[in-house]
Amino acid sequence: MKIGVLSDTHGKHEITRTAIDLLCGRGAELILHCGDINSVPSVRLFSGIPTQFVFGNWDYPKFLLTGAMRDIGAAWHDGPGRIELAGKRIGWLHGHVRGERPKLEQSGELDYLFYGHSHKAETHQTGKTLVLNPGALHRARPKTVALVDVATGEWELVEVPQDART
């Protein structure tokens, strides 16, 4: 199963729509958003697409965001999100809470851990856990998202075209 991972969209509607289309066009069956979505209209862009969100430090007021998420049938998590797909344990969080990511990363409980906040794409392995930051769609060059096949372990960072800037 392929999943799309993105973070730090910060209410940038056009490029977020472009990223969603890019991920779905490349076979993503689920999208995980690692926080800082920032706006109700941005949440609505995910309508009709299985999506799960975690909250970042710019996601407020939460009651408006969660209302929009409920309206589109999305799931959200106040703390780190956790799911199991294709027999793999996946966690994701924003990354702004001190000590939270390292604790999850070193727990040995997860096969994949995704995070945002830094606006910088990066990957590394800690034990069996692939740790991946998909980058950001705001205040990042290049603007990137990730596509991960959780069954095969294959992953790639995908650059989102720069002409989608708002």
Topology adopted by domain 2-159? Purple Acid Phosphatase; chain A, domain 2 (3.60.21)
Looking at residues 2-16, what average pLDDT do you find?
97
- Is the pLDDT confidence value at 76 over 50? yes
Task: Give the pairing of strands 155-159 and 144-149.
Answer: antiparallel
pLDDT reported for residue 165: 44
- Tens of pLDDT, residue by residue over 144-156, are 999 999 999 999 9
Calpha distance 120→40 (Å, rounded): 24
Calpha distance 34→132 (Å, rounded): 11
